[in-house]
Amino acid sequence: MCSRTLAALIIYLSTVTTASSSPSATVDAGVVIGTTTSLPSSATTVNKFLGIPFAAPPVRFTAPQKPKPWSEPLDTKTVKPACIQQFVYPKESSDLIQSFFNNPAAEESEDCLYLNVFAPATPAPENGRAVMFWIYGGALQFGHGGHPVYDGSKFASGEDVIVVTHNYRTNVFGFPSSPELPLTGHNLGWLDQRFALDWVQRNIHAFGGNPNKVTVFGESAGAWSTDALLTSYPANSKPPFRAAILQSGQISYHSPIEADTTSSWLTLAAALNCSDTKGTLECIRVAPAATIKTIVDQQSLPFWPVPDNVTLIEDPVQARVSGNIARIPILSGTNAQESRIIVLGLTNTTAYLNSIGVSPDAIPRIEAAYPIGSSEFPTAYDAIAQMATDYSLHCPDALLTNATATSGIPAWRYYFNASFPNTQFLPDLGVFHASELWIVFGTYPLANATAQEAALSNYMRETWARFAKYPVAGPGWNAVGTGSDFFGGAGDLDIGLVGSEGSAGVEVIRQAEVDSRCSLWVPILTAGS
């Protein structure tokens, strides 16, 4: 985060005051002691329990296990270390991503499977409060649930819901692609998420929550994870959540997950001098974590999930189209200019389209739809950024929400289109990927905040919480209609346009108003489906 934005965030955090009381809760492993805090202009105080172990300190490359019970009350007043992070972006974007997600640099440890609970301090209703379970983004390579942006205090104080954030293992520590591991031992980070969800089912009542009222919500890789959860629970199952919110991500159409990262594992093994041993897995298991981190960072080695038919099924598109997924309401959406922060430095449209596998005959048609030098796309960078937004996020979301609705599952869609000077890392980033996070959580910097920013944050937080409380009723606008046509014509009037042109609320618009170029991308996105 740039120094100005970081200073402003510190100012925001300083407005959260801590009361003298120390709330307690009894979970299945023992008693936890938290803190009670109050926020300006809120009559409701918040009980915060930070750093509750939901699993034992993990053994490297093994599934999570329950923590050992503790006999004395456990102090849970401080966020615990992040899991070991890896940043493998192009240089221009990497610096910016780290300045937001890792500034100040988080303490990191393999002992990282902890969660945080933000709950209203007032007595809960007899049937318990709704629970919002947050999954952070970071391309499954970095991130942590204790980041200040994910502080759930405003949700708890203003919307009378409980927010749970947690850590899960990422990169090689969370998704080791060792041929020596069974298939079900590769997606450890996603097993961590499920383990935390199971903890919520067993323990959230101790904080006033109802385990039958859980909504999973996530952004970017957190939305990938949410979609993996949705599609891996078949229609006849009872998942540990009753609704889902996907912010800027999914895995069903244009999966961002690479098919095979065994080469990354072999490269890591060679760098650690583990290739010639009979037990490469064990050799890497005992290598110093700092050495592993240095290698995967310096060599930009990605590690991804694999279809294990537990946390990730082989064909999520077919499962969704057939309706054989978790049949729960979803709210899904994207930001207007997602990829401006992702494609920094790119200026050749043909090279970009070649890099994502667009056929030569389709390239001229796509380039013509994003005319460089026009008022909408003054530069090649502007055109590439919108191409990347449409291809990787926006049009896949159109496909996902329409397919979900067509299979008879309630689906709502939003389109976020607001930017504010105090959250711009560089000039003209616009409505970039992850820029809605400050608004959703209400953790935007107070310095230079605008009236629209404050009002829009209140609206989005209220809307997200309303959906968590009453998912069948939806967020407040039309559900996506079955049989919607976004290839041409008007389409259904069912997209919630949030924050456009100074608005602090929602305007309901037709799909065609934002999906006009998706007809170019749909054949590419659905090829082989």
Mind telling me the catalytic residues? 220, 338, 433
| 67 contacts 95 by C-beta, under 8 angstroms | no
Q: Is the dihedral of CA 326, 327, 328, 331 positive or negative?
A: positive
| 528 contacts 446 by C-beta, under 8 angstroms | no
Strands (E) located in 136-208: 162-166
Structure tokens at 363: 């390239």
Q: Rounded to an integer, what distance in angstroms lies between the CA atom of residue 149 and that of residue 158?
A: 17
Exposed, middle or buried by CB within 10 Å (0-12, 13-18, 19+), for 238?
Answer: exposed
Q: Rounded to an integer, what distance in angstroms lies between the CA atom of residue 136 and that of residue 147?
A: 9
Q: Rounded to an integer, what distance in angstroms lies between the CA atom of residue 95 and that of residue 477?
A: 38
Residue 243 pairs in a beta bridge with 215
Full DSSP string of 293-333: HHHHHHTT--------SSSS-S-HHHHHHHT-S----EEEE
Where does 370-450 have alpha helices with state H?
380-389, 395-406, 437-441
Structure tokens at 141: 């390579």
Structure tokens at 34: 């938290």
Can the peptide bond before residue 104 be classed as cis, meaning omega within 30 degrees of 0?
A: yes
Long-range contact list for 268-275, CB < 8 A, 24+ apart?
268/172, 268/292, 268/295, 268/296, 268/299, 268/301, 271/295, 271/299
Residue among 346, 356, 417 nearest 384 (CA): 346
Structure tokens at 3: 């120094």
Q: How many residues does the chain have?
A: 529
